[in-house]
Amino acid sequence: MTVADIDRILREVASAGDRFNAVTEMLPELARERAGEAAQRAAEGLPPRALEGQPFAVKDIVFIAGAPTSMGSRVDVLSHPDARTGTADVIQRLMAAGAIPVAKTNCQEFSHGIFGEHSAFGTVINPAGAQLCTGGSSSGSAALVAAGAVPFAVGSDTAGSVRVPAGCQGVVGFKPTLGAVNTDGVFPLSPSFDTLGFFTRTVSEAVRVFSAVVDFSAGAPASVAVGTFELSAPHWIEDGADYLDTTTPVDLEPFIEGSGALYDTVRKYESFRILGPLAEDQPEAFTPGVLDRVKQSADVSEADYQQALADVEALRERALAQFADVDVIVSPALDGGTVPWDSIGPDARPAFVRYSQLFNVLGWPAITIPTGRKYANGAPACLHIAGKPGEDATVLAVAAEVERRLQAEAKAEQQTDPQAGAN
């Protein structure tokens, strides 16, 4: 990687950023500095690091020294206690592995929403189809990866904000176990559920990125017990990964129903403590939709919050007991795939978070992977794979095997029947 190489990449990223409204800030000085370091290391004969010369983008809630951080908002947050002047731990780790930050990405204002429709910088355009909802809140990071502008990007996931845009835009979106990746230097929404995650084009790339920021070994298990939930085409799993030990239906419905109110109570209480003072001081700087959501979060009492936290812990214990014999749980990524923007109504949210939000409440690792298929409206068809806390390696190993076989199957179908990709 040379400075000339990084200048070309910066131009390509800026072009994709303009095309898909995905970039809030380019990082040319930092990128050239890191590229210069990579070139110097190569000249000295030093071995390449794990992510040597890999450009990446960063959701614009992650602080980088010397670069503005907008949170997708016009609100002035410099005096906020959660604002930082230094560089977030995750970025330091990625740079130490040789990766080069090139851009900060557009996102839902303060990560407050699952569709990605509210940003002071306008809505991101979905590379999978301009008419399709991008998902949020990490919509710009997903778009740059989907557009092929960067090999990976950093996002955050509180109710699915990595996995949902990945499912909407047809890329890999990995949310590690809660707490596995240090969130220091990341503007919070709900610290009880906030998790940093990564967008990549393949599962193997997700493994490389995750391995660069945590002490992690991606050894594949010899066999895996899989629970499936509401899969319209379970043969995708049964045929796609025949090394899996057992594949049986599981019932997540009681946990989905039980986790919804707990999530709402905890998220509302925590997010209002963070954003409420800003909304009171600078209401005119917020997008109207997010300002309304902040105001609607004001009514949770301390007692209700503490009870919800206790109930979350109890739900986590119940889930571990209920699924003791299951290694991973596989479901669709979204309930029916993403939809056109003009179909997003007041009741659309449950379909987007049905398979993702639960695993934020449980704290389990989970990943969205594209299948190589599409729905009739052109939306990518994706799977969601979740595992138990600390079992990130199992989740990634299963995802890699399923991804390989699913995409090979889809390619074979396309060669024999060009219409086979639609559901």
User: Distance from first CA to last CA of the chain, Å, rounded?
Assistant: 42
CA atoms within 13 A on the CB side of 226: 29
- Quick check: 246 pLDDT over 70? no
* Mean per-residue pLDDT, 72-85: 94
Assess contact for 285 and 75: CB atoms under 8 A: yes
Phi, psi of 56 (to 5 degrees): -150, 160
Q: What is Dmax (Cα atoms) for the chain?
A: 61
State what percent of residues in the chain have pLDDT above 90.
84
Beta-carbon contacts of 307 under 8 Å, excluding residues fewer than 6 positions away, are none
Q: What is the pLDDT of residues 323-346, one digit of tens each?
A: 999 999 999 999 989 999 999 999
**pLDDT, position 240:** 41
**pLDDT, position 224:** 75
* Mean per-residue pLDDT, 61-75: 98
Measure the CA angle with vertex 369, ends 202 and 6; round to 5°: 35
- Quick check: 63 pLDDT over 70? yes
Give the Cα separation of 53 and 55 in Å (integer): 6
- Give me the domains of the chain, ranges plus CATH numbers: 1-221+331-423 (3.90.1300.10)
* Mean per-residue pLDDT, 164-176: 99
* Mean per-residue pLDDT, 191-210: 98
> Which positions are annotated as active-site residues?
59, 137, 161
- Quick check: 387 pLDDT over 60? yes
- Quick check: 260 pLDDT over 70? yes
Q: What is the pLDDT of residues 11-52, one digit of tens each?
A: 999 999 999 999 999 999 999 999 999 999 999 999 999 999
Burial class (CB in 10 A: 0-12, 13-18, 19+), 219: exposed
Measure the CA angle with vertex 74, ends 73 and 80; round to 5°: 80
What are the DSSP calls for 27-88, one per residue?
-HHHHHHHHHHHHHHHHTTPPP-TTTT-EEEEETTB--TTS---TTS-S--TTSTT--SS--
